[in-house]
Structure 1
């Protein structure tokens, strides 16, 4: 009986973790992405390199990396390895890599 309860509890915790991870996914509407792309084209930045940092959604950028504002968008951007990267300024985590 205890084994069954422990297995059930573990399953519930696993599902709760999956739900929390899904809730953290950032969805950028196509219209907002268009606004961001147009702004970035008008205000191009020099590409920087960040040794030891892989560009993946969820990766936190070091505090030494300057983030740039896009008007009326909560995220900031920077160009790393010739890729425009959107970053949550509160966590400094990459939320989207714009191709």
Structure 2
């Protein structure tokens, strides 16, 4: 009887282990980012994953930085470098550890019905820098008024325009009177930047 009970217990443990092996891969967004309908900035946004959101990671496209996720029932595509998972008790960026983490490979088939929601950066455009930690701000209303009345020439950068992303060194910022942050329009979206770190601190929707 004891041997039979032990065998049943061992079987239950093996079944539980198999269940864990097939468990969903959970990631966390390291900053606010758009969830897009397809793997590219030319696809419309279907939702927003705020910083710290939990995302179920379906997998990533082979040779691409785009991964498919589900955030609170919204399924779409985000950049792998904006997602982190727990590996041995330490958070790691998905893009840098895809092989170690065993992230599944998924595919995406484009359709002719997709209409770009915003101008698509050209292949030679610079890539917006990696996301870092910045202090969240709430700009005063007069800053938006200044931006609306003082248009700046837009620059094209590949990548999602999110808080914390680093703007390349050759992009020129516009000074806002009596305000510590600078203004630039990236991919037709006005953003505020810390001139010292060149990181985006606020994105106007």
SS of the residue corresponding to residue 195 of structure 2 reads: coil
- The Cα of 1:87 is off from its aligned counterpart by 0.3
Provide the residue aligned with 1:26 in structure 2: 136
Deviation of 1:93 after TM superposition, in Å, equals: 0.2
Q: Output the CA distance in 1 between the equivalents of 2:148 and 2:183.
A: 12
Partner of 1:95: helix, strand, or coil? strand
Q: Does residue 79 in structure 1 map to residue 189 in structure 2?
A: no
Return structure 1 stretches of 4+ with deviation > 6 angstroms: none
In 1, the alpha carbon distance for the partners of 2:137 and 2:149 equals 24
Q: Which residue of 1 is the match for residue 88 of structure 2?
A: none
Query: Could you tell me the TM-score, scaled by structure 1's length?
Result: 0.67
Instruction: State the alpha-carbon separation in 1 of the partners of residues 162 and 148 from structure 2.
Output: 22
Q: State whether structure 2 residue 176 is matched by structure 1 residue 66.
A: no
Which structure has more relative contact order (CA 8 Å, sep 6+)? It is: 1
Structure 2 residue runs without a partner (length 5+): 1-132
Deviations 1:33-81 (A, max 9, x none): x11111011110122102x343110000011100111111100010011
Does the 8 Å contact 1:53/1:61 carry over to 2? no
The structure where helix makes up a greater share of residues is 1
The structure with the largest strand share of the pair is: 2
TM-score (norm 2): 0.34
> Which residue number corresponds to residue 4 of structure 1?
none
Unaligned 5+ runs, structure 1: 1-20
Instruction: Please say if 1:37 is aligned against 2:144.
Output: yes
